């Protein structure tokens, strides 16, 4: 580059440097008297605090001071001064390693000190002091050690850009790293990447300045700049972070052995084997330290003995001194130091991360063990039986109460035995089919299965009624299904309930006679008071007695369905259902209510008690007609299809108000009214009677939503007719109207 072009740039640099030095000197004169106040910079004066105009003047001179930072200038200046002294010493040491015929140092520890300096001061409101001190020291030391002022200016800019870039990248890639030690391998790689990228920024300026001053660009010089600064930043910044946060675990005997062995090995390799390239063997020492010592010891070992390798190389000793080219020699030495640093830190941090994970795993294992013991204690202390069964019928777990409630009967194979093995029956005493066992029903359906079972065996000769609640459990999506079975003893509750129901049935019978008397006298009153203003009161009495009779008839019907003797015979379901439907059609026409529409599919004949089956159909069809939206004509379809175990499945589907999914099991309980049914007349016994009728015939009854739209679908099963002539009585589908 022509001197005519360089000279004006140099003069401008000198002018800027003088101005900066004058500004810093003026600031240093006030350090001892400045303090933090409402105006963050306050000068001593007789009149007290500065005026707003004086504050504005001070901020115009020192724009880096933000209001309300809470950081005093004294503290910031003290930290800046401390780092400046360290940087000055590191810069001077680095300049002592300038290679022959170049102005490029072999090592540059100042790069690492600069990285720590700017990282520690990253939140300071007076960073301009750091920038100014860095610039002054870089200019002064480089000029004092033989560099031209222009070249020193390039070096100052390169170092400044490098430090700012490092802090910026680290804040993005490793936020909060100054407040914690390195803990993961990813932390090391990100810090190394920040060191490399920031050094690339500096290398784009420093070697370029050498080219502009000396007239020739050296790729070797750029490579040395890149290697030495990256290694220095990596080693010194990691050492600072570990010393700031690390708790050193020393093994004195082993540490002494490591130091003696390392010193001896480095002395032998670098002092007596110049012609033998055996420096790679020293990696074994790095591995030893990394696997056995604290990370802080590892980084200090790398720093000390890496520096020792560089010193030997500078003194023309060791395998690297045999390299004739000074830049290549420096590059190889820096690569060696960088290699032992990366290997040592990677192994140490990997070990720390592994130990942390093992400790976390051990802690989690201990917590899981304690939790398991607690859960085991809770489960074993339960009075309810609890068992978990897999899809193959294998017991995964069961508590002592489960064995006790079954009379101590257990399977010898660890699998669920047959129902007869445990002595399981329906509450009416009929045997339970294997496919009807609660856990099997739960595994084949995602709905909660609730069932009462009578257990009678040698240990329980009088029998015990158990209430089973079974839920299908999937451990993970797509995984196998398990059945969670919870059951408890409801014998006393059921006995008490049966006694109440029996008593209610007897009372209902006893109340029919006085109720008939009331109805008779009420008819007399109705005749006598015809046209009288009080006649409407007689109408109210009629309605009340009608409700009372309906309630008493329900109690009697339930008692009959529960306790009455069955008289099964072959029933033509089509004609029975048609007859029941005709009654509701006539009733609707007489009352002026919307006339229901009936559709009949293929209906198989069944073997059952005709009185109870008629009662069953009347209750289900009556509910379908009654529980509809106001003004909407009821539409009911009835059809059947063959089912397993010699049963017939009958579906009664309507377009009514429906039953919420969470209440579909509860509607079969005694005196239960479904949500939304409060505006409709009823006792809450209808579906309980239906369930009792179906169960007495060995079937089941469930409710689901209407698959074709609004409403419900009641499904029950009854025994299929065994007579050879019992064939379906109607083709699918028959539309039934009042005229038919």
Residues 244-258: tens digit of each pLDDT: 775 566 778 888 888
Domain match, 559 and 644 both: no
Residue 419 maps to a domain = yes
What is the pairing mode between strands 424-425 and 449-457? antiparallel
pLDDT surpasses 90 at 485 = yes
Range with lowest mean pLDDT among 125-129, 279-283, 466-470, 637-641: 125-129
Residue 72's pLDDT band (cuts 50, 70, 90): low
Helices vs strands, H then E, count in the chain: 21, 14
Residue 587 maps to a domain = yes
Average pLDDT over every residue of 481-489: 92
Instruction: Using alpha carbons, list the distances in angstroms from residue 216 to 151, 213, 321.
Output: 13, 8, 25
Residues 424-459: tens digit of each pLDDT: 998 877 888 888 888 888 888 767 778 889 999 988
How much is the pLDDT for 110? 86
How much is the pLDDT for 650? 95
pLDDT surpasses 50 at 175 = yes
3-class secondary-structure state, position 486: strand
Average pLDDT over every residue of 701-729: 80
Residue 393 maps to a domain = yes
Top mean-pLDDT range of 216-220, 233-237, 731-735: 233-237
Domain match, 1 and 133 both: yes
Range with lowest mean pLDDT among 218-222, 591-595, 667-671, 718-722: 667-671
**CA 307, 311, 314, 316 torsion: positive or negative?**
negative
Residue with tokens 């990696």: 283
Residue 380 maps to a domain = no
How much is the pLDDT for 671? 58
pLDDT surpasses 50 at 48 = no
How much is the pLDDT for 648? 93
How much is the pLDDT for 249? 66
Residue 689 maps to a domain = yes
Average pLDDT over every residue of 55-64: 39
* Phi then psi dihedrals of residue 56, to 5 deg: -60, -35
How much is the pLDDT for 399? 92
Residue 660, domain extent: 569-736
Tell me how many domains the chain contains: 5
Domain match, 254 and 238 both: no
Top mean-pLDDT range of 61-70, 183-192, 661-670: 183-192
Residue 653's pLDDT band (cuts 50, 70, 90): very high
pLDDT surpasses 70 at 325 = yes
Residues 275-322: tens digit of each pLDDT: 677 888 888 888 888 888 888 888 888 888 888 888 788 778 888 877
Describe the crossing of helices 206-214 and 149-173 by its angle, rounded to 10 degrees: 160
Kindly give, in sequence order, each residue whose CB lies less than 8 Å from that of residue 533, ignoring residues fewer than 6 positions away.
none
Torsion of CA 575, 577, 579, 585, to 10 degrees: -140
Kindly give, in sequence order, each residue whose CB lies less than 8 Å from that of residue 120, ignoring residues fewer than 6 positions away.
79, 83, 178
Higher-pLDDT residue of 511 and 486 is 486
How much is the pLDDT for 719? 92
What is the C-alpha to C-alpha distance for residues 410 and 415, in angstroms, rounded to an integer?
Answer: 9
Other CB atoms within 10 Å distance of the CB of residue 198: 27
**Of 457, 489, 521, which residue sits at a domain end?**
489
H or E stretch including 460?
strand 460-474
Domain match, 158 and 282 both: no
Domain match, 591 and 703 both: yes
pLDDT surpasses 80 at 703 = yes
3-class secondary-structure state, position 191: helix
What is the C-alpha to C-alpha distance for residues 652 and 641, in angstroms, rounded to an integer?
Answer: 12
Q: Dig out the tokens for 412 from the structure.
A: 């010898």
Domain match, 574 and 559 both: no
Q: What is the CATH number of the domain that holds 581?
A: 3.30.565.10
Domain match, 123 and 215 both: yes
Residue with tokens 């019978």: 509
Top mean-pLDDT range of 20-29, 70-79, 523-532: 523-532
Residue 129's pLDDT band (cuts 50, 70, 90): confident
Which residue, 264, 268, 246, 269, is CA-closest to 345? 246
- Over the Cα atoms of the chain, what is R_g? 48
Residue 387's pLDDT band (cuts 50, 70, 90): very high
How much is the pLDDT for 636? 92
* 123-129-131 Cα angle (round to 5): 85
Residue 60's pLDDT band (cuts 50, 70, 90): very low
What is the C-alpha to C-alpha distance for residues 649 and 143, in angstroms, rounded to an integer?
Answer: 103
Which residue, 535, 154, 561, 184, is CA-closest to 350? 184
How much is the pLDDT for 505? 62
Residue 275 maps to a domain = yes
pLDDT surpasses 90 at 143 = no
Q: Contact at 8 Å (CB) between 620 and 580?
A: no
Domain match, 397 and 521 both: no
The structure's pTM equals 0.48
Higher-pLDDT residue of 518 and 675 is 518
pLDDT surpasses 50 at 479 = yes
**Of 489, 507, 532, which residue sits at a domain end?**
489
Domain match, 596 and 608 both: yes
Average pLDDT over every residue of 220-238: 84
What is the C-alpha to C-alpha distance for residues 321 and 324, in angstroms, rounded to an integer?
Answer: 8
Domain match, 366 and 482 both: no
Instruction: State percent of the chain over pLDDT 70.
Output: 79
How much is the pLDDT for 49? 43
Instruction: Using alpha carbons, list the distances in angstroms from residue 243 to 30, 87, 124, 255, 704.
Output: 34, 18, 21, 17, 70
pLDDT surpasses 90 at 639 = yes
Higher-pLDDT residue of 547 and 646 is 646
Q: Contact at 8 Å (CB) between 601 and 638?
A: yes
Domain match, 14 and 117 both: yes
Average pLDDT over every residue of 611-636: 87
Other CB atoms within 10 Å distance of the CB of residue 533: 7
Range with lowest mean pLDDT among 205-209, 310-314, 560-564: 560-564
Residue 163 maps to a domain = yes
The number of CA neighbours under 13 Å toward the Cβ of 479 is 8
How much is the pLDDT for 14? 40
Residue 58 maps to a domain = no
Higher-pLDDT residue of 55 and 586 is 586
Which residue, 357, 355, 306, 310, is CA-closest to 329? 310
Range with lowest mean pLDDT among 223-237, 424-438, 484-498, 515-529: 515-529
Domain match, 90 and 180 both: yes
Residues 337-384: tens digit of each pLDDT: 888 888 888 888 888 888 888 999 999 999 999 999 999 899 999 999
């Amino acid at each position: 580059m022509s001197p005519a072009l360089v000279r004006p740039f140099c003069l401008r640099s000198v002018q800027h440097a003088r101005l900066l030095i004058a500004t810093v000197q003026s600031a240093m004169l006030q350090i001892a008297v400045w303090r933090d106040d409402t105006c963050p910079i306050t000068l001593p004066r007789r009149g007290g605090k500065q005026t707003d105009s004086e504050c504005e003047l001070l901020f115009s001179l020192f724009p880096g001071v933000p209001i309300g930072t809470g950081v005093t200038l004294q503290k910031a200046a003290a930290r800046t001064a401390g780092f400046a002294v360290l940087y000055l010493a590191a810069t001077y040491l680095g300049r002592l390693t300038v290679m022959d015929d170049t102005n490029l140092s072999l090592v540059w520890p100042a790069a690492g000190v600069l990285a720590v300096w700017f990282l520690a001061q990253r939140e300071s409101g007076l960073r301009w002091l750091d920038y100014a001190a860095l610039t002054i020291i870089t200019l002064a030391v480089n000029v004092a050690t033989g560099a031209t002022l222009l070249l020193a200016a390039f070096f100052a800019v390169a170092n400044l850009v490098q430090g700012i870039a490092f802090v910026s990248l680290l804040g993005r890639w490793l936020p909060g790293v100054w407040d914690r030690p390195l803990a993961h391998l990813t932390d090391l790689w990100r810090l190394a990447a920040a060191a490399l990228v920031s050094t690339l920024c500096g290398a784009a300026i420093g070697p370029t300045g050498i080219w502009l001053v000396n007239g020739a660009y050296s790729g070797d010089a750029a490579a040395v700049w890149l290697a030495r600064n990256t290694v220095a930043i990596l080693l010194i910044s990691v050492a600072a972070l570990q010393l700031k946060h690390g708790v050193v675990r020393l093994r004195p005997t082993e540490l002494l052995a490591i130091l003696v062995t390392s010193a001896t090995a480095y002395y032998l390799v670098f002092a007596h084997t110049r012609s033998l390239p055996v420096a790679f063997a020293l990696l074994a020492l790095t591995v030893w330290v990394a696997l056995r010592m604290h990370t802080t010891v590892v980084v200090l070992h790398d720093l000390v003995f890496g520096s020792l390798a560089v010193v030997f190389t500078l003194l023309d000793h060791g395998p690297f001194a045999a390299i004739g080219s000074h830049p290549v020699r420096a590059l190889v030495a820096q690569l060696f130091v960088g290699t032992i640093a990366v290997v040592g830190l990677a192994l140490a941090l990997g070990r720390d991360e592994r130990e942390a994970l093992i400790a976390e795993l051990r802690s989690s294992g201990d917590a899981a063990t304690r939790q398991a013991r607690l859960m085991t204690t809770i489960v074993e202390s339960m009075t309810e039986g609890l068992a978990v069964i897999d899809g193959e019928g294998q017991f995964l777990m069961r508590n002592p109460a489960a064995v006790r409630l079954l009379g101590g009967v257990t399977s010898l194979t660890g699998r669920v035995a047959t129902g007869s093995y445990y002595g399981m029956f329906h509450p009416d005493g009929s045997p339970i089919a294997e496919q009807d066992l609660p856990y099997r029903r739960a595994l084949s359906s995602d709905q909660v299965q609730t069932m009462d079972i009578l257990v009678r065996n040698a240990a329980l000769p009088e029998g015990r009624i158990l209430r089973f609640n079974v839920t299908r459990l999937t451990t993970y999506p797509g995984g196998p299904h398990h059945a969670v079975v919870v059951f408890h003893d409801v014998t006393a509750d059921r006995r008490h309930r049966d006694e109440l129901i029996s008593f209610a049935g007897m009372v209902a019978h006893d109340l029919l006679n006085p109720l008939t008397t009331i109805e008779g006298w009420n008819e007399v009153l109705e005749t006598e008071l015809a046209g009288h203003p009080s006649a409407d009161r007689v109408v109210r009495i009629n309605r009340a007695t009608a409700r009372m009779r309906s309630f008493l008839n329900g109690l009697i019907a339930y008692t009959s369905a529960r306790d009455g003797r069955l008289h099964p015979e072959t029933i033509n379901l089509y004609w029975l259902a048609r007859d029941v439907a005709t009654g509701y059609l006539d009733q609707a026409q007489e009352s002026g209510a919307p006339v229901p529409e009936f559709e009949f599919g293929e209906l198989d004949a069944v073997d059952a008690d005709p009185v109870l089956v008629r009662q069953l159909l009347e209750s289900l069809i009556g509910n379908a007609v009654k529980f509809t939206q106001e003004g909407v004509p009821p539409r009911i379809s009835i059809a059947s299809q063959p089912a397993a175990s010699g049963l017939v499945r009958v579906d009664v589907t309507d377009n009514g108000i429906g039953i919420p999914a969470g209440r579909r099991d509860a509607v079969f309980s005694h005196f239960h009214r479904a949500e939304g049914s409060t505006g409709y007349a009823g006792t809450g016994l209808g579906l309980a009677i239906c369930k009792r009728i179906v169960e007495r015939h060995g079937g089941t009854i469930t409710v689901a939503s209407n698959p074709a739209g609004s409403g419900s679908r009641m499904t029950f099963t009854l025994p299929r007719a065994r007579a050879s002539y019992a064939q379906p009585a109607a083709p699918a589908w028959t539309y039934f109207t009042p005229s038919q």
